[in-house]
Homo-oligomer: A and B are copies of this chain.
Amino acid sequence: MEIAELQRALRATYFERDTGRGSDATFRWLTEEVGELARALRHGKHEELELEFSDVLAWLASLANLTGVDLERAAARYANGCPKCGASPCRCTFE
C-alpha cells in the first residue's frame, strides 16, 4: 500500500469525525495508542503488537490529514539514507 493510499483511506473513513474533534484531541488519541503500543511491547503477543502499530499509524495519518501534512513527503525524507549523515547504514556518531 502506498503511504498516500493509507492517508486517503483514513481521510475517507475518519476526516469528518477528526475535524469535529480537532487536532488536540486527535493528538491525545495518538498518544493513547502509543501507550497501548508500549503495553503490547511489554506483553509481547505478536497479533496485539501488530494491531497497536496499526492504530498508531492510523491516528498519525488522521492527524496528518487534519494538519495538512502529506505523509508521502514526510516519508521521502528517509527514502535514501539517513537525513542527517546521508549514509545507509547511518554513520552518525552520536545519539
Contacts and interface: CB of A to CB of B under 8 A. Distances in A.
Contacts of A77: 51, 54, 58
Q: A interface, by DSSP: helix, strand, loop or mixed?
A: helix
User: How many identical chains are in the complex?
Assistant: 2
A79 B2 contact: no
A80 B6 CA distance: 10
A5 B54 CA distance: 17
A5 B75 CA distance: 10
22 contacts: A3-B6, A6-B75, A6-B78, A9-B78, A9-B79, A10-B78, A13-B89, A14-B82, A17-B89, A17-B95, A21-B95, A27-B37, A31-B34, A41-B67, A46-B68, A50-B69, A50-B70, A50-B73, A53-B64, A53-B74, A60-B60, A61-B78
Interface of A: 1-3, 5-6, 9-10, 12-17, 21, 23-24, 27, 30-31, 34, 37-38, 41, 46, 49-51, 53-54, 56-58, 60-61, 63-64, 67-83, 87-90, 95
